[in-house]
Amino acid sequence: MPSLTEVKHYLKACTDRDHLWMSRPLAVASLLVILVLVKSCQGISFLNSREYKIHQLGYPLNEAHTLSLALSDQQVDSLIALQYYDSLACSIVSQQYFIQDHFTRYIAYHKTDTAGTSPTDIVAIVNVNGDNDWEKTAVKCDTTRGYLILVNKYHYLDSTYKRGDMVKFQTTCSYPGNEAARDVVDAFYKMQEDCKKQTQAQLMVNTSYRSFDYQTEVFKIHDKSIVATPGHSEHQTGLSLDITSIEHPEKWSFEKSTEGKWMREHCHEYGFILRYPAGKEHITGYGYEPWHLRYVGVKTASRILSEGITFDEYYAYYIEQTN
């Protein structure tokens, strides 16, 4: 069936001097017949389209169009099978970090949500597996990721895991016994040096690497709601640091100090991120920890900061989805 553009070209050709055998009235009549046929076929095609099937569920045509473009045939079928209109479906598929394979989980989460969670947070929560019970669905970490290894409630390390490039911190910048991956130690030295030049205060490493066994002892004596289960602690990676300063050794006084504020503003320049930021507890699974840094490299740290996301979200969207 010809398109409307082709029909216009046909009419022009019919009325050119080289086609005077066809009168203008006949050409116009032919055009009208063709237009009716085109429109009829287009109508039949629309009635059989994914867009129309979605529209029949109650979605406005503009939303049905957006959904039909964003979803696969299988996901459209799944949406149709739900047989109800979801008011956030169109907003969900329009989110920056929307992952097509998670669509039915986004909708299922919204259907049972009683807290009025926004589309942005629904996408984030599902992407990091927060719609599942971590104790039943946790998987082993992919330790081939180097500095981008993810350890959280849904990803755990073997009890024997320890990096092979660990070095001790100098006692002038750390409490005794702390160690971390070599690049982490070097990056901290540089950050400490620059912080001292600009604030006259000295950053200190309070805690760095913790073995599985050490974390087990910590877990026994602390509040289970704020301490990671053994195997699920980032400290076991050798990439995380709890920071304080000589001038402000207490955690919360350090947060409000000049050097504490400087660290949070500049740590990405040295490859660190604030691993558990305020307002992201529903994503990370842990409360705000302004002293807890995680090394991911300068490029990744800068991107995480600029996009305002957590490492969990970054990993789900930029690492898992690239495989």
Last residue in a domain, options 86, 104, 127: 127
pLDDT of amino acid 140 = 97
Q: Residue 154: phi, psi to the nearest 5?
A: -100, -5
> How sure is the predictor about 275, in pLDDT bands with cuts at 50, 70 and 90?
very high
Q: Which domain holds residue 64?
A: 57-127
Whether residue 185 is found in the same domain as residue 228? yes
Q: Taking 50 as the threshold, does the pLDDT of residue 21 lie above it?
A: no
Q: Taking 90 as the threshold, does the pLDDT of residue 16 lie above it?
A: no
Q: Indicate yes or no: pTM above 0.75.
A: yes
Instruction: Give the pairing of strands 240-245 and 272-276.
Output: unpaired
DSSP assignment letter at 158 = -
Whether residue 94 is found in the same domain as residue 153? no
Selection from 275, 266, 212 nearest residue 240 by Cα: 275
Number of domains in the chain: 3
pLDDT of amino acid 316 = 97
Selection from 186, 182, 207 nearest residue 275 by Cα: 207
How far apart are alpha carbons 175 and 148 in whole angstroms? 26
Whether residue 22 is found in the same domain as residue 171? no
How far apart are alpha carbons 151 and 143 in whole angstroms? 10
Q: Taking 70 as the threshold, does the pLDDT of residue 24 lie above it?
A: no
Burial (0-12, 13-18, 19+ Cβ within 10 Å), 250: exposed
Whether residue 140 is found in the same domain as residue 275? yes
Whether residue 16 is found in the same domain as residue 65? no
Assign residue 260 the CATH number of its domain.
Answer: 3.30.1380.10
pLDDT in tens, 48-90: 788 998 999 999 999 999 999 999 999 999 898 888 899 999 9
pLDDT of amino acid 25 = 62
| Per annotation, catalytic residue among 247, 289, 313, 320 | 289
DSSP 172-195: TSB-TT-EEEHHHHHHHHHHHHHH
Whether residue 24 is found in the same domain as residue 103? no
Tell me if 169 is assigned to some domain. Answer: yes
Whether residue 223 is found in the same domain as residue 239? yes
Last residue in a domain, options 83, 99, 127: 127
Tokens matching residue 104: 């039915």
pLDDT of amino acid 227 = 86
Tell me if 52 is assigned to some domain. Answer: no
pLDDT of amino acid 34 = 52
- Single-letter amino acid code for the residue at 45: S
Whether residue 15 is found in the same domain as residue 117? no
> How sure is the predictor about 220, in pLDDT bands with cuts at 50, 70 and 90?
confident
Mean pLDDT of 172-177: 93
Active site residue 320: no
How far apart are alpha carbons 85 and 80 in whole angstroms? 9
Whether residue 190 is found in the same domain as residue 76? no
pLDDT of amino acid 1 = 53
Task: Give the distance between the most distant pair of CA atoms in the chain.
Answer: 100
Q: Taking 50 as the threshold, does the pLDDT of residue 38 lie above it?
A: no
Decide: 161 and 149 in contact? Cβ < 8 Å: no
How far apart are alpha carbons 76 and 51 in whole angstroms? 9
Mean pLDDT of 200-218: 95
